[in-house]
Amino acid sequence: MKKKWLALIVVAAMLLGTMGTGFAATAAIESSDAAAEYQIIVINDRSLIAVSDIISLGYDVVQNGKFIDIKDSTTNFLFELGSRVVGVNEIEVKIDAAPIKNGNESYIPMAFFFEVLNYEVSWNQTLGKIEIEKRADTLYPVKIESFGFVYDCAKPAKTISSTAPSVTELLFSIGAGERIQTRSSYCDYPAQASQIPAAGSLYDPSIEVIVAAAPEVLIAQTHFKPEVLVQLTKAGIDVVAVESPSTIDGMVALVKQLGVITGNEAEARALATSMEQRVQRTRNLVKNVQRPNVYYVVGTGQWGEYTATSDTFINDVMQTAGLNNVAANATGWKYSLEKLVEQDPESILGGAYNLDTMRTSENYAILTAVQNNQLFDIDENVYSRPALRIIDVGIPELLKLFHPDLDRSLIE
Amino acid sequence: MILKTKTQKYLGIVALIIGLFILIVFAVGFGAVQIPWRSVVRIMLDGVFGRTSIDEHTRFIVLNLRIPRILMAVMVGMLLSLVGTSYQAVFKNPMADPYLLGTSSGAALGATLALLVPQLQVFGYFGVTVFAFLGAITTTLIVYFLAKSGNQISTVSLLLSGIIMSSFLSAIISLLMIFHHEEIAMIYNWTLGSFNGASWSGLKLAVPILGIGNFVMSFWAKDLNVLLLGDAQAYSLGIDAQNVKRKILILSSILAAVAVSMSGIIGFVGLIVPHFFRMIVGPDHRYLLIYATLGGGVFLLLCDTIARSLLSNAEIPVGVVTAILGAPFFMILLYRTKQGKE
């Protein structure tokens, strides 16, 4: 598509008045070279655009029964009518709106489509129109500087090593999993990850195994030993040390960065948009709910109380899912038994071992959550790793536990 | 020696007891949750009169979290210091501490196994403490029998086998940590030592053991004095040094194992407190044992109070505080004693 900028002028009332119901309307499109009318449908607060308009914008579209195949030079979409799963090149992502058929016309989710093609889609309140603006394409070489390590990425890396479980999960989610040469022994998800040679721990990986695998780039995360990374750079392996995201937004940014490193940018944008849309929908859903007081136990008992404090990823997940994290007033994972008793949360989330400690030790007997047996055993790996599973499994699980009346159908 | 006469020594003991009591009352007012002094006093009075005038959670914090924790710190401090005193006499070695005979690594291995093997978690939360104790006592006994040849226990072979056993068990723990990397944090934290999990039921076990230990040890105070003179000297005075050593070692090891299993590994207390009081009251164990026991309680409670109130929302491992406070203090003392001698 040649147009660098286009704007869909949509009557404001049209968006506001269509909660949950869909109707077709026309919208004028202003673009740098021409003005045209486009057909927009709004369903569940998401705008869908007619496939015929996509064709007129210059995309290659093949419609075959329920399937709508859209191509541009680098990206191949496969939409299915009625399905929230979209194929983008080699991967599939779940979004919060499904393509529909209205009369003879098919409609596809507009924002998702343009976001994947690297447009910024936003609603301009004052002009009353949707603005779609092309973002700058990544120009290689890209320089990534972090933790004192400089990675000059001349072109997307074909082979990668990962030392962090969440990075490994995200690489699989953007379709770069098969290019991972070594992983850490903690990288146990998805199942295919276990086929990759393991190279020790996050902090102290086996340099020999990594050097022997000779990946173009090694991606490490927060918990690394600088000396090891220096050794690897000396052995000619480029190193990117990314910060472990402490928010969902940070995770989305990391997804896009991984897209740049691996060259799977369309897939990364698809995943990022899928995550963002479902999170945004969750946040809207819980906007006015009563937030239960919940405590997330990371460690407990004799070795002290550790929890997901305000500066942790898990805290952001809890807030997003409409919970009030009682430890949001503390930082650095540390808490105290006294404060826990003072806060007296209604429910406690954590791994089975920690919850057992709380159930059996007399020190926790006064807690309302213990007395009412509101201790919920969750998979700690899902919650502690900023990866797709938090969106697919974690947040829906929290909603199911604490806000069972809310409609999760577009989030799960 | 600062306190020379008998009267001074007795007065010193009274002062220590009063000091310990004041410190305990003071410590109850400190914690992660701010509770006004008036409330603390009322909660304590309520406890005596069986009233409930303060809200349930605040009361729980004071009565079930703070007080047991404070008493536990005192108990463990007393145990470690008592054991340190007796070990230093038995081994005639100023470097001897309660962990000398592999006690700590045995406890750590026991705790590690309890944390890792679900089948061992039959005792629930207490499992870790129980297995730490079993690990500590088993290791100590193995070291003891390794070092024993015939009826003789050589100090050198005891120290050697203690060190070797410690390294061996530490290696096994490291190996277990590599295979169970998910639980590394739990195991590591256990070895740091903390009173976070202290509870009344733990105290019910620690108090009688400390009482018995102290009582029995005070009977052996004179024997400890004689041991300092050497085995041959002891023999000429009609004391079977080997037998005395064996009794004291076994009792001390049990006490050390109890302390470690209650709190994890807390260094420095058993090493420096006895030395400190030896400089103050001299090497006579009839006094030294009492001083070291009380002083150990005071010292560890002081350290734990600092550990839990210095930072507003985090707790410093108490072992860090004992070392940071203890080491410089000890160095000054050592320097001054040296000066005095010259």
Beta carbons within 10 angstroms of residue A104's beta carbon: 6
Amino acid at B163: I
Residue among A340, A188, A372 nearest B32 (CA): A340
Q: Which of B65, B197, B201 sits opposite A338 (nearest CB)?
A: B65
The pLDDT value given to residue A112: 95
More confident residue, A204 or A158: A158
**A54 pLDDT above the threshold of 50:** yes
Round to whole Å and give the CA distance between A123 and B136: 68
Given an 8 Å threshold on Cβ–Cβ distance, is B313 in contact with A185?
Answer: no
Query: Is B225 strand, coil or helix?
Result: helix
pLDDT one-digit tens code per residue, B229-245: 877 787 788 778 888 88
Chain A closest-CA separation from residue B314 CA (Å): 6
Q: What average pLDDT does range A287-297 have in this prediction?
A: 96
**A143 pLDDT above the threshold of 50:** yes
The pLDDT value given to residue A203: 81
Chain A closest-CA separation from residue B124 CA (Å): 6
Shortest CA distance from B189: residue in chain A: A303
The pLDDT value given to residue A407: 93
Instruction: Using pLDDT thresholds of 50, 70 and 90, give the confidence band for residue A22.
Output: very low
Whether A405 has its CB under 8 Å from any CB of chain B: the answer is no
pLDDT one-digit tens code per residue, B309-342: 887 666 778 888 888 888 887 787 678 767 766 5
* Mean pLDDT rounded to a whole number for chain B: 83
Q: Which of A201, A331, A361 sits opposite B313 (nearest CB)?
A: A331
Shortest CA distance from B264: residue in chain A: A302
Round to whole Å and give the CA distance between A65 and A63: 6
What is the DSSP secondary structure assignment for residue B311, as one 8-state letter?
S
What is the DSSP secondary structure assignment for residue A391, as one 8-state letter?
I
Tell me which of A178-182, A405-409, B241-245 is least confident.
B241-245
The pLDDT value given to residue A9: 44
Query: Is B108 strand, coil or helix?
Result: helix
Tell me the chain A residues in contact with residue B190 when contact means C-beta distances shorter than 8 Å: 302-303
Round to whole Å and give the CA distance between A392 and B60: 40
Tell me the chain A residues in contact with residue B185 when contact means C-beta distances shorter than 8 Å: 299, 303
Q: Which of A303, A330, A331 sits opposite B194 (nearest CB)?
A: A303
Residue B29, φ and ψ in degrees, nearest 5:
-80, -10
Tell me which of A82-96, B23-37, B146-160, B167-181 is least confident.
B146-160
Given an 8 Å threshold on Cβ–Cβ distance, is A341 in contact with B65?
Answer: yes
pLDDT one-digit tens code per residue, A93-110: 999 999 999 888 999 999
Given an 8 Å threshold on Cβ–Cβ distance, is A303 in contact with B196?
Answer: yes
Phi-psi category of residue A322: left, alpha or beta, with phi > 0 → left and psi -120 to 50 → alpha: left
Beta carbons within 10 angstroms of residue A334's beta carbon: 19
Round to whole Å and give the CA distance between A315 and A233: 35
Tell me the chain B residues in contact with residue A329 when contact means C-beta distances shorter than 8 Å: 313
Q: Are B77 and B296 in contact (CB under 8 A)?
A: yes
Candidate ranges A264-278, B33-47, B66-80; pick with highest mean pLDDT: A264-278
Q: Which of B60, B66, B179 to mutate to test the interface with A (most CBs of A within 10 A)?
A: B60
Whether A165 has its CB under 8 Å from any CB of chain B: the answer is no
For residue A350, what are its two tokens?
A: 């954590």
Round to whole Å and give the CA distance between B210 and B205: 9
Amino acid at A218: L
Q: Are A82 and A100 in contact (CB under 8 A)?
A: yes
Q: Which of A301, A338, A363 sits opposite B31 (nearest CB)?
A: A338
Given an 8 Å threshold on Cβ–Cβ distance, is B313 in contact with A335?
Answer: yes
Instruction: Please give the C-alpha separations between residue B57 and each of A18, A289, A343, A344, B169, in angstroms, as whole numbers.
Output: 49, 27, 9, 8, 42
Q: Is the peptide bond before A141 cis (omega within 30 degrees of 0)?
A: yes
Tell me the chain B residues in contact with residue A366 when contact means C-beta distances shorter than 8 Å: 56-57, 60, 64
Round to whole Å and give the CA distance between A215 and A167: 15
Round to whole Å and give the CA distance between B315 and B228: 40
Instruction: Using pLDDT thresholds of 50, 70 and 90, give the confidence band for residue A15.
Output: very low
The pLDDT value given to residue A14: 40
The pTM of the full predicted model, rounded to 2 decimals, is 0.81
- Is the ipTM higher than 0.90? The answer is no
**B294 pLDDT above the threshold of 80:** yes
Q: What average pLDDT does range A314-330 have in this prediction?
A: 96
Amino acid at A379: D
Tell me which of A66-70, A371-375, B204-208 is least confident.
B204-208
Tell me the chain B residues in contact with residue A301 when contact means C-beta distances shorter than 8 Å: 125, 128, 196-197
Round to whole Å and give the CA distance between A331 and A309: 5
Q: What average pLDDT does range B137-151 have in this prediction?
A: 82
Query: Is B53 strand, coil or helix?
Result: coil
Instruction: Using pLDDT thresholds of 50, 70 and 90, give the confidence band for residue B37.
Output: confident
Long-range contacts: A140-149, Cβ < 8 Å, 24+? A142/A260, A144/A240, A144/A257, A144/A260, A144/A261, A146/A240, A146/A241, A146/A242, A146/A243, A147/A224, A147/A226, A147/A241, A147/A243, A148/A226, A149/A229, A149/A233, A149/A239, A149/A240, A149/A241
More confident residue, A7 or B333: B333
**B3 pLDDT above the threshold of 50:** yes
More confident residue, A259 or A203: A259
Q: Which of B56, B58, B181 sits opposite A201 (nearest CB)?
A: B181
Given an 8 Å threshold on Cβ–Cβ distance, is A303 in contact with B32?
Answer: no
Given an 8 Å threshold on Cβ–Cβ distance, is A304 in contact with B196?
Answer: yes
Amino acid at A137: D
Q: Are A64 and A51 in contact (CB under 8 A)?
A: no
Core vs surface per residue A172-192: b (16+ CB within 10 A) or e: bbbbbbebbbbbbbbbebeee
pLDDT one-digit tens code per residue, B56-107: 888 888 888 899 999 999 999 999 999 999 988 887 777 778 887 888 889 8
The pLDDT value given to residue B91: 79
The pLDDT value given to residue B250: 83
Q: Which of A186, A301, A329 sits opposite B181 (nearest CB)?
A: A186
Q: Are B79 and B68 in contact (CB under 8 A)?
A: no
Instruction: Using pLDDT thresholds of 50, 70 and 90, give the confidence band for residue B122.
Output: low
Whether A362 has its CB under 8 Å from any CB of chain B: the answer is yes
More confident residue, B122 or A192: A192
